[in-house]
Amino acid sequence: MQLAFQQFINALSLGSIYALVALGVAILFSILRLANFAHGELMTTAGFTLYMTLASGWNWVLAVIAAIAASVVAALILERVAYRRLRNAQPLTLLMTSFAVSVALQSIFLLTFGARPKGIELPAFVDASFRIGGMRVQWLDIAIILITAAIVFGLTLFLRKTVIGLALRSAADDFQTTRLMGVKANALFVGAFVLSGMLAGIAALFYFATVPNVVPSSGFEPMLKGFIACVIGGLGSLPAAIVGGFLLAFLEVGSDALLSDNFSPYLDAIVFLIAIVILRWRPGGIFGVRLTAEQRV
Amino acid sequence: MSMLSGKWWKQSLVGSALLLAILLAIVAIVALAGSTTDMRILMVFLINVIAAISLQTYAGNSGNISFGHVGFMALGAYGSALFTADPAIKAIGIPDAPAFIREAQISFLPAMLIGTVIAVAVAAAIGRVFVRLSGAAAAVATLGFMVIVYTLLSNAEQLTRGSKAFSGIPEYTTLGWCVALLALTIVVARLLRDSNTGLGLRACADDPIAGQAAGVDILNSRYVMWVASAAGAAIAGALYAHYIGAILPKAFHFELTFVLVTMVIVGGRSITGAVAGAALITILTEVLRRLENGFSIGSINLSEAPGLTTAVLALMIVATLTIRPQGLVSRWEIEELLQRWQLRQKPQASARTEENHA
């Protein structure tokens, strides 16, 4: 029972990270139809910023702000340099561009920081924990879960109650009509990329607080998990991305708890296989979101 | 299409012959004038072309990209390597493997067939999932498949030595094998592409509703291409394993996926495109590598900068896609490109003769 509760907290905390990554991916996809494989590298950018600032003795609050800012700036640079020209390109070309951008950024990180893992000097409170009835619970996990809940709530309010949010939601529905209503296309792009970059930065904070070292390819694994979460939830819908993130985390923690230790190296393979089995029955994801004519096959 | 022949397969064979002639010319030039290093690059290029054409057989026809074909290459490579390596080496490297693998030592062709059959069986088992997906969902799910294969291979230590290199693979891959299998791949890929299945599928990639209304079974057509392309990828993987002589799961991961998919996308949506893309990427990589060794900018010694080649290559790919989003040859095959070129020449020629008359 105690073990089950602890695993539950673990899954919720892991699910929060996946959900944040998936949200960042889903925002770009729903509004711009862009599958941004470089999302992981935005997280790596935040990770290296965190490493550099903390190593040079910054206060952790400043380091956190710097990391999120770095990831937002990186997202804006990507938008300006790589994606703005390709607005009318084929989806496959866009996909490939984001893949190439991801590889380019990884190589640039390798060039700048080398291949050796850089340990992030986390402040001591990250390891703090408390006990309820004999169980040890990390404050970090509680913080991750609560902050993620707050972010999801805030994002919902932003998208529902502000004019910018309305513009973004209507662009997700029909980009051309939104432009005809007087919303600048560039503003939509910038807005979507800022949101996505912020979510990547925050997800990176949580991710690197649990895995406190960063290598050039750090972003690949959380990016892939976030994308798979999006796909099994239903690509293009924000609530589906969140549900997909938690589902993936519960599958992962659940398989780890149920299977013997011999299988734990194969965990990723098992979880992805389950995801593929889900896709076999629901190709549009669990929620089977509405697909455009080109996608409906 | 009617310009060459009414029978569709005749045009496929003519196109294959043209493509093969160009590749053979390249092979001949390098074999006569190139150094040993050039020959190594040529061999890797030929193997990459086989892999790229195989991937194109799925991607170019269905309009869906696959990031999972490197997984099939890995299955082909390990499948073939396991049954050909010297039993004495296997007794040390993988002592816990089943006896029929540990003691096996068969020749190249049957081993390659075993690897291919494994890949085809896996492709057939999971293919139904991927053919139902499209666009970004297909890309992500196939990437997941690649990671599954990688995770399995790098942890199955009893069979593959895990993440350590599996060495002692006999180096059977010769230029002859490469050229012969390349010819086979090109012909089969062209026949599949120009067949009713391929034509219908390509029509559906352009307009799924009209295509299906015209009676194309999009899922089954995609499934055929998926399984066929997995077989081709496995052959390329086996050739690679028996050329390098040592393989490790890391060799069949993100980097190779990127290289292969780039060749296909930069090239365009035809078999000729896959070859053109493979050639361009190989040339770019080699030029960059040589620049890296030969020059230094100021105090920065570029040869000590890992990742620079990849970074520049990736940026060049972004540039290529920005300038030419449809790929180098767009959707055309080589004989179609020649026809279009001739047609472009003709009006000018007739215009010129009219000028002379006046």
Query: What average pLDDT score do residues B121-141 get?
Result: 92
Question: What is residue B301's predicted lDDT score, i.e. its pLDDT?
Answer: 52
A33, A107, A220, A255: best to mutate for the B interface, most B CBs within 10 A: A107
- Domain range summary for chain A, segments of one domain joined by +: 2-117+158-281
Alpha-carbon gap, residue A295 to B134, rounded angstroms: 6
pLDDT of B148 higher than 90: yes
Nearest residue in chain A measured CA to CA from B320: A97
pLDDT value of residue B314: 86
> For residue B207, what is the nearest residue in chain A, using CA coordinates?
A294
Q: Which of B254, B284, B321 to mutate to test the interface with A (most CBs of A within 10 A)?
A: B321
* Partners of residue A132 on adjacent β-strands: A135
Confidence of residue B5 (pLDDT cuts 50, 70, 90): very low
CA of B137 to nearest chain A CA: how many angstroms apart? 6
Q: Which two tokens stand for residue B166?
A: 């599996």
Maximum Cα–Cα distance for chain B, whole Å? 87
Residues in B touching A216 (Cβ below 8 Å): 307
Provide the whole-model pTM: 0.90
Q: According to the model, what pLDDT value does residue B305 have?
A: 61
- Chain A residues in contact with B136 (beta carbon < 8 A): 29, 35, 91, 95, 231, 235
B289: buried, middle or exposed (CB in 10 Å: 19+, 13-18, 0-12)? middle
Cβ of residue B63 closer than 8 Å to a chain A Cβ: yes
Per-residue tens of pLDDT for chain A, all 297 residues: 778 888 899 999 999 999 999 999 999 998 888 899 999 999 999 999 999 999 999 999 999 999 999 999 999 999 998 888 787 777 777 888 898 899 999 999 998 998 899 999 888 888 888 887 777 888 999 999 999 999 999 999 999 999 999 999 998 888 889 999 999 989 999 999 999 999 999 999 999 999 989 999 999 999 999 999 999 998 888 999 999 999 999 999 999 888 888 888 899 999 999 998 888 888 888 887 554 434 433
| CB < 8 Å to A93, chain B | 265, 321, 325
What number is the ipTM of this complex? 0.89
Element at A136 (helix H, strand E): strand A135-138
Mean pLDDT of chain B: 89
Q: Is the pLDDT of residue B3 over 90?
A: no
Chain A CB within 8 Å of residue B143 CB: yes
**What is the pLDDT at residue B55?**
97
Q: How far is CA A258 from CA A253, A265, A276, B279, in A?
A: 9, 14, 20, 49
Nearest Cα of chain A lies from the Cα of B170 at a distance, in angstroms, of 30
pLDDT at A292: 43
Mean pLDDT, residues B233-246 taken together: 96
Whether residue A269 and residue B152 make contact (CB cut-off 8 A), yes or no, is: yes
Nearest CA in chain A to B315: A104
Is residue B55 within 8 Å of residue B261, measured between CB atoms?
Answer: yes
Q: Which residue has the higher pLDDT, B240 or A93?
A: B240
Q: Which residue has the tokens 């799961």?
A: B249
Task: Give the mean model confidence (pLDDT) for residues B301-315.
Answer: 71
Return the pLDDT at A123.
85
Which residue of chain A comes nearest to B201, CA vs CA?
A297
The minimum CA-CA distance between A290 and chain B, rounded to whole Å, is 14
Q: Which of B133, B148, B325 sits opposite A93 (nearest CB)?
A: B325
**Which pLDDT score is estimated for B354?**
54
Distance CA B85, CA B78 (A): 10
Tokens of B345: 């020449």
**pLDDT tens digit string along A82-119?**
888 787 777 777 888 898 899 999 999 998 998 899 99
Closest Cβ opposite residue A103 in set B134, B204, B310: B310
pLDDT of residue B296: 52
Asked if B306 lies within 8 A of A296 by C-beta distance, the reply is no
The pLDDT assigned to B53 comes to: 97
| B323 neighbourhood in chain A, CB within 8 Å | none
Q: Minimal CA–CA distance to B336: which of B344, B324, B348?
A: B344
What pLDDT was estimated at residue B6?
62
- How confident is the model at residue A60, as a pLDDT? 92
Yes or no: say if A46 and A68 are a contact pair by the CB < 8 Å rule. yes
Please compute the mean of the pLDDT values over residues B179-188 and round it to a whole number: 97
CA pair distance A231, B355, nearest whole angstrom: 62
- A276–B141 CB contact, under 8 Å: yes
**pLDDT-derived band of residue B326, with 50, 70 and 90 as boundaries?**
confident
Q: Report residue B212 as tokens.
A: 């299906």
Whether A223 and A37 have beta carbons less than 8 Å apart is answered as yes
The closest CB to that of B258, out of A99, A266, A272, belongs to A99
What is the arithmetic mean of pLDDT over B246-264? 92
CA dihedral over A42, A46, A47, A48, signed as positive or negative: positive
The verdict on a CB contact (< 8 Å) between B140 and A231 is yes
- Sequence-ordered list of residues with C-beta below 8 angstroms from that of A166, at least 6 positions apart, any chain: A159
In chain B, what residues touch A231 (CB-CB under 8 Å)? 133, 136-137, 140-141
User: E-assigned strands of A35-132?
Assistant: 118-119, 129-132
Nearest CA among A26, A24, A60, A27 for reference residue A41? A24
**Mean pLDDT (whole number) for B142-163:** 93
Residue of B nearest to A231 (CA): B137
Contact criterion met (CB below 8 Å) for B144 and B126: no
Of B140, B143, B321, the CB nearest to A97: B321
Using pLDDT thresholds of 50, 70 and 90, give the confidence band for residue B145. Answer: very high
pLDDT at B348: 65
How high is the pLDDT of residue B294?
A: 58
